[in-house]
């Protein structure tokens, strides 16, 4: 049975791989395992050794800490856990990944303008809700 930490690390692994547009086979080739092993890591069926986690972090261009970000502290209130769970659901949606990829393909100036537009639209929504 998978431990909560193994499940969390596996979800973060899958999220980052998908964000980069990599297949399980692509990632497996980079770290010297079969794609089935990546599947097992992602679902938490197999634990990832520290040396393999380091290799995965290099292949995915993140720090090792990335895989543990968002794990709630033992004394954290339940509301914080719910917020992290909701954020994880949003980030795992295909539409969100497509949006993030498209955003980062833009140059710096268009990205900044798009972000300003999104913030303006968000403010517009809240003012209509109050009316």
Same structural domain, 104 and 88: no
Token pair of 94, please?
């295909």
- Of 71, 5, 93, the residue nearest 41 (C-alpha): 5
Same structural domain, 88 and 58: yes
Report the CATH number at residue 68: 1.10.260.40
Same structural domain, 71 and 127: no
Residue with tokens 């770290």: 31
Tell me which residue range forms the domain holding 57: 4-92
- Of 67, 87, 66, 54, the residue nearest 9 (C-alpha): 67
Each residue's pLDDT tens digit, 20-52? 999 999 999 999 999 999 999 999 999 999 999
In contact, 11 and 92? CB cutoff 8 Å: yes
| E-state strands within the chain | none
Say yes or no to pLDDT of 103 above 60.
yes
Say yes or no to pLDDT of 117 above 70.
yes
How would you class 20 by CB atoms within 10 Å of its CB: exposed for 0-12, middle for 13-18, buried for 19 or more?
Answer: middle
Domain count of the fold of the chain: 2
Same structural domain, 41 and 79: yes
């Amino acid at each position: 049975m998978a431990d909560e930490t193994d499940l969390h690390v596996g979800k973060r692994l899958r999220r980052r791989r998908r964000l980069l547009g990599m297949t399980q086979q692509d990632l497996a080739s980079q770290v010297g395992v079969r794609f089935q092993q990546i599947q097992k890591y992602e679902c938490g069926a197999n634990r990832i050794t520290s040396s393999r986690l380091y290799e995965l972090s290099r292949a995915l261009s993140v720090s090792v800490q990335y895989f543990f970000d968002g794990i709630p502290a033992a004394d954290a209130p339940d509301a914080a856990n719910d917020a992290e769970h909701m954020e994880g659901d949003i980030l795992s949606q295909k539409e969100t990944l497509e949006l993030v990829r498209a955003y980062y393909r833009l140059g710096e100036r268009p990205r900044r303008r798009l972000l300003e537009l999104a913030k303006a639209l968000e403010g517009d929504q809240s003012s209509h809700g109050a009316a």
